[in-house]
């Protein structure tokens, strides 16, 4: 039997809160997609590959006739595509003898939550980034040299200016706010800025916070370094104000809640913050034969690109 102390740590609310406290700060790409809850495994999404200016039905505003209405126009419909939510998960076994010992059992349950939090963040970051990269537009730019080049051909700042401007298109209101590169390339950018003779570039490198820095160029997009989802030598550019993708997810009320309240640091103070549960579910049971405790974690979600020109992806750095 599970003691009362251990019962608290095995509850659904405790599990989801503990996982989100560790995972949410590392969910790098969730802020660049539109979350859409689903009630079934299947869904339909709209895809826009023309934009307002390139719309074949585009018309100029007309004059109103006396006693009449403005002329009626047609609007092109999005291309609707079916999608299926994917289910991925794992389970952790805690031996019966460990569960009998409350302090030891609690530490093992907490360790399982840490593992689940890491998996959850890494899985979502990788899957969202992979889906976006696959559906993104290839920019028009040609970096003269790799950022690691030692022959003077590397021009990281000029590359970023060209990459940023490649998102500007007639008929589209997208503007690049964030760039993502592999951590190796992020470190190369920091090294380049530090070695520059321009004070503002040196300051940008010295003010880098953890794995991101504000580039010292027009409109100052933020450059992020990451390990999951981005390949060394490639770069992804996104418009945070106009998500290029939808994140469809499902939460079974028997195994998860629509919202998770967890402890986080806001303004230097520890506070309780709400977060959407992006398809993370949990259940636990005692195996009858071994009497071991089984902790099961899984996620049900799918990322689909709906506005390909709001994302740019290519290699060359």
Query: Within a domain: residue 37?
Result: yes
What digits encode the pLDDT tens for the residues 248-289?
999 999 999 999 998 877 767 788 888 999 999 999 999 999
Query: Within a domain: residue 303?
Result: yes
pLDDT for 1 equals 47
What digits encode the pLDDT tens for the residues 72-95?
655 555 566 778 899 999 999 999
Most confident by average pLDDT, 195-199, 233-237, 268-272: 233-237
Number of structural domains in the chain = 2
Mean pLDDT, rounded, for 187-204: 87
pLDDT for 62 equals 56
Q: Which residues contact residue 72 at a Cβ distance below 8 angstroms, ignoring those fewer than 6 apart?
A: none
Pair 235, 106 in one domain:
no
Radius of gyration of the chain (CA): 24
Pair 118, 254 in one domain:
yes
61: confidence class by pLDDT, cuts 50, 70, 90: low
50: confidence class by pLDDT, cuts 50, 70, 90: low
Pair 85, 117 in one domain:
yes
Residue 233 to residue 57: CA distance in whole angstroms = 40
Please answer whether residues 248 and 9 qualify as being in contact, where contact means their C-beta atoms are separated by less than 8 angstroms. no
Pair 189, 219 in one domain:
yes
- Each residue of 39-54: b (16+ CB within 10 Å) or e? eeeebebeebebbeee
Pair 254, 227 in one domain:
no
Does the structure show a pLDDT above 70 at 101?
A: yes
Query: Within a domain: residue 67?
Result: no
Query: Within a domain: residue 63?
Result: no
Pair 172, 278 in one domain:
no
Beta bridge partner(s), residue 286: 293
Pair 44, 168 in one domain:
no
pLDDT for 272 equals 86
Taking all residues of the chain, what is their mean pLDDT, rounded to a whole number?
A: 87
Query: Within a domain: residue 268?
Result: yes
Pair 237, 249 in one domain:
no
H or E element that contains 160: helix 156-165
Query: Within a domain: residue 289?
Result: yes
Pair 218, 270 in one domain:
no
Does the structure show a pLDDT above 80 at 236?
A: yes
Query: Within a domain: residue 273?
Result: yes
pLDDT for 227 equals 85
Pair 111, 17 in one domain:
yes
- Each residue of 118-143: b (16+ CB within 10 Å) or e? ebbbbbbbbbbbbbbbebbbebebeb
Pair 260, 236 in one domain:
no
Pair 166, 229 in one domain:
yes
The residue count of the chain comes to 317
Query: Within a domain: residue 128?
Result: yes
259: domain CATH number is 3.30.2400
Q: From its phi and psi, is residue 229 left (phi > 0), alpha (psi between -120 and 50) or beta?
A: left
Mean pLDDT, rounded, for 153-180: 93
**Domain range for 110:** 4-49+77-135+245-308
């Amino acid at each position: 039997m599970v003691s009362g102390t251990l019962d608290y740590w095995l509850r659904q609310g405790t599990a989801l809160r503990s996982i989100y406290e560790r995972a949410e700060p590392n969910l790098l790409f969730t802020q660049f997609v539109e979350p859409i809850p689903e009630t079934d495994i299947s869904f339909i999404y709209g895809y826009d590959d023309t934009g307002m200016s390139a719309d074949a039905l585009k018309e100029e505003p007309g004059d109103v006739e006396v006693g009449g209405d403005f002329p009626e126009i047609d609007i092109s419909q999005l291309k609707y595509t079916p999608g299926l939510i994917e289910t991925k998960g794992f389970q952790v076994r805690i031996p019966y003898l460990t569960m009998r010992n409350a302090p030891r059992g609690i530490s093992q349950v907490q360790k399982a939550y840490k593992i689940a939090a890491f998996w959850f963040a890494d899985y979502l970051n990788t899957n969202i980034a992979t889906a976006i990269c696959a559906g993104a537009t290839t920019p028009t730019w040609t970096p003269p040299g790799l950022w690691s080049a030692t022959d003077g051909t590397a021009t990281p700042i000029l590359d970023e200016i060209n990459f940023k401007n490649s998102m500007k298109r007639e008929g589209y209101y997208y503007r690049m706010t964030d760039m993502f590169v592999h951590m190796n390339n992020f470190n190369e950018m920091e090294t380049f800025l530090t070695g520059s003779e321009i004070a503002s570039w040196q300051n940008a490198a010295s003010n880098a916070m953890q794995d991101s820095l504000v580039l010292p160029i027009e409109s100052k997009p933020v450059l992020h370094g990451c390990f999951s989802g981005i390949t060394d030598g490639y770069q992804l550019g996104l418009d945070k104000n106009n998500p290029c993708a939808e994140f469809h997810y499902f939460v079974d009320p028997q195994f998860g809640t629509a919202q998770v309240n967890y402890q986080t640091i806001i303004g230097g103070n520890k506070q309780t913050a709400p977060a959407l549960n992006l398809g993370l579910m949990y259940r636990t049971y005692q195996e009858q034969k071994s009497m071991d405790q089984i902790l099961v974690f899984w996620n049900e979600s799918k990322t689909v690109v709906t506005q390909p020109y709001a994302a740019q992806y290519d290699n060359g750095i």
